[in-house]
Amino acid sequence: MTRIKSAVSILLAAAMLCLFCACAKDNASSAPETTFETATAEPATGQETTAPDETGIDEMIDNMSLEEKVGQMFFVCCPDIGAEEWIKDYHLGGFVLFGRDFEDKTAAEIKTTIESYQSASAVPMLIAVDEEGGTVVRVSSNPKLRKTAFPSPKDVYASGGWDAVNKTEIEKAELLLSLGINVNLAPVCDVTGNADSFMFDRSFSSDPREVSTFVAGTVTDDNERGLGVALKHFPGYGDNTDTHEDMSYDEKPYIDFVAADFKPFEAGIASGAGCVMVAHIIMACVDKTNPASLSENVHKILRDELSFDGVIMTDDLSMSAITKYTDGDEAAVAAAKCGNDMICCTDVETQYPALLSAVKNGDIPEEQINASVKRILRWKKKLGLL
């Protein structure tokens, strides 16, 4: 752990030096606000992209034990008690916070709690929430943090257009960052116009072009402020049922996914999203047996067809779509095997030892774990945590 903290200190010092130089060059300027209408809603073709900064990351990985590397892959739902013990015992990559973690607390209390998590960790943690607006508002549902909860982006757009959406997304990002939260599990990229579908209230629009514009603008806004995002829920919920309750099957042809569902994800990736969350729906045209979150074929689409080289993470493995069909330890191993870099879960006490054992017995190559950890650390470095 001492070697890891030393490597982290070196990375932080380098980051501070770069920041000082940037400030000296242009002390009076600040990041421009995004205009959503001009955000890139379509992926650029033939455009050169800047290689991610990987300075010091390989050295960090070399100094990690296998236990520490496996722990980085876990994005765990924060427990009510014993959070700091979990951080130390399982070397966690991140915590996901929920409404109960904010209920009736002041901003100062929340910041102190999150700081205690970071202090307990050898490697700075990803601290995430679902703050979509509308029906999913973990933070702003607390009137001590915002007078009223953030409305859904689609309602904001209906009342004030793109300018209102832009201002709301910026306010949202700044609120989360002020509390010590560094990742918003958003924006929602799902496209549906079916009022009876599970995702209708959370989807921005039935028009993939409008959803793409919203996603591109949000990702750009958040990137400018140093807030991480997770595009969700790949390959797109569409009109399907709630995987919190049971498995959901999507029987539409692949060409329909390409024409509509993939578009917002492509826009978010082109805008620099650091993470994509994969849903538990079965994409029958690609894999008739496994949910997308546990399907190697679906993950190949993200890597090969959409050219995404960031962090891929599962939706919560405690959802019924998974637990009704497999147990926790099998799910964690299957999730890593098929290409997830991070595993979102509740039952880390079962899933962490199962994944660690699978690597130790050669079921999963350590080189694959190293590649996932490199993507995770690269994301953390981009967010200014390293």
Residue 239 is part of a domain; what is its CATH number? 3.20.20.300
How many domains, the chain? 1
Within a domain: 14? no
Q: Distance between CA 369 and CA 332 in Å, rounded?
A: 13
Within a domain: 3? no
Residue tagged 């939706």 (tokens): 315
Within a domain: 283? yes
Closest CA to 126 of 241, 227, 245: 227
Q: Which one-letter amino acid corresponds to residue 27?
A: N
Within a domain: 241? yes
Within a domain: 38? no
Are 19 and 193 a contacting pair, CB within 8 Å? no
Q: What is the pLDDT of residues 59-89, one digit of tens each?
A: 999 999 999 999 999 999 999 999 999 999 9
What b/e readout covers 179-195, taking b as 16+ CB neighbours within 10 angstroms? bbbbbbbbbbbbbbeee
CA distances from residue 329 to 147, 246, 247, 281 in whole angstroms, order as listed: 42, 19, 19, 20
Q: Distance between CA 156 and CA 163 in Å, rounded?
A: 9
Enumerate the active-site residues: 244, 315
Q: Distance between CA 364 and CA 367 in Å, rounded?
A: 9
Are 325 and 247 a contacting pair, CB within 8 Å? yes
Question: Is the bond leading into 124 cis (omega within 30 degrees of zero)?
Answer: no
Q: Distance between CA 155 and CA 48 in Å, rounded?
A: 36
At residue 35, the pLDDT reads 59
Within a domain: 11? no
Structural tokens at position 109: 């209390």
At residue 30, the pLDDT reads 39
At residue 237, the pLDDT reads 87
Within a domain: 168? yes
Which residues lie across from 258 on neighbouring strands? Answer: none
At residue 25, the pLDDT reads 36
User: What range does the domain containing 240 cover?
Assistant: 57-382
**R_g of the chain, CA atoms, integer Å:** 20
Pick out the chain residues at pLDDT < 50: 2, 10, 13-32, 43-49
Within a domain: 349? yes
